[in-house]
A = this chain, B = another copy of it.
Amino acid sequence: MSLLVTGSLGIDTVETPHGTAPDVLGGSAVYFAVAATHFTDVRLVGVVGEDFPDSFSKLMTDAGIDIAGLEVRKGSKTFRWSGKYSEDMNDRDTLDVQLNVLQEKGPTVPAAFADSDILFLANTHPALQREMRSQVKNPRLTVCDTMDLWIDSARDDLLATLKVVDGLIINDGEARQLTGKKDNIAAAAALLQMGPKFAVVKKGEHGAILVTEKGITVIPAYPTMDVVDPTGAGDSFAGGMLGYLCTQAEIDDVALKRSLIRGTVTASITIEDFSLTRIKDTSRDEIEKRVRAFSEMLRID
């Protein structure tokens, strides 16, 4: 089954207590796509500038991503982000953002991608997310992410987008901001009133909450002491989750719970090295081995 992701590609400079990674491949769509390749075929739609290194395109094609939807726009510059993590890596400061090509018109979904089964609308302006959605014929499942910027500045557009998606994957702080609830569990529950059939609230080192019509599931993060660079954890989570759902005949509560644990484990692998170094070289076998250990940890009667 085919998985389509639309979102940002970027050139990141990341500083953590473990060192600095200058000018590395990043962006929400990239982390999502690379993580998802371990489960299914992945198609990527996005736009970069002329300065986007060939080696970055090669990294993606080597990972098995179909980048027919990657537009390299003449005269434009690639999105750039630079950030520095705190000592405990639970906070980060954005040192520099250059939106560049992301401020121009959005990319186009190639005709060959219009039959995609699962669609992930990574974080971007919610109006653009709907435009992307409209270019895919009849996806089995559409899921989106968002961020504080759009909750503040484009709330009506975001509420309209939430009416046309099946699922929402969002950070805890953003879930509280969007719903006005003070408590993560209450916020997760309130998200379902806004349109989606399911919502996932990501709590970083504290795990994730899945809410569906049938109830609430909370799981911790996979316990690790080997965090080198938390960048891309959330998008890798979504990539592992939706990549896994592509392997399932039915997307019901059981499949969603199973996908939640894959997302968690996939994210735990991403953050063990800078940029995509670790996640691109993992394997489904390694992921499933960690899934078994994690399931075993959570099996208590």
Contact = CB atoms under 8 A, between A and B. Distances in A.
Interface stretch (A67-75, A120-128, A129-137, A213-221): A213-221
Given A89-B183, A298-B299, 17 more contacts: A88-B182, A88-B183, A185-B223, A206-B206, A206-B207, A207-B220, A215-B297, A216-B223, A218-B223, A218-B297, A219-B298, A219-B300, A258-B301, A260-B300, A291-B301, A295-B301, A298-B300
Nearest to A17: B182
A177 to B, nearest CB: 13
A189 B301 contact: no
A54 interface: no
Contacts of A260: 300
B183 A209 contact: no
Number of copies: 2
B209 A184 contact: no
A224 interface: yes
Interface of A: 87-89, 182-186, 189, 203, 205-207, 209, 215-221, 223-225, 227, 257-258, 260-261, 291-292, 295, 297-301
A73 B246 CA distance: 69
A99 to B, nearest CB: 32
Given A219-B298, A258-B300, A205 B225 contact: no
Given A299-B298, A301-B258, A209 B223 contact: yes
Contacts of A227: 183
A62 to B, nearest CB: 31
A217 to B, nearest CB: 5
A29 to B, nearest CB: 27
Contacts of A220: 206-207, 218-220
A301 B215 CA distance: 18
12 contacts: A185-B223, A185-B224, A185-B225, A203-B206, A206-B207, A215-B297, A217-B300, A260-B300, A261-B300, A295-B301, A298-B298, A298-B299
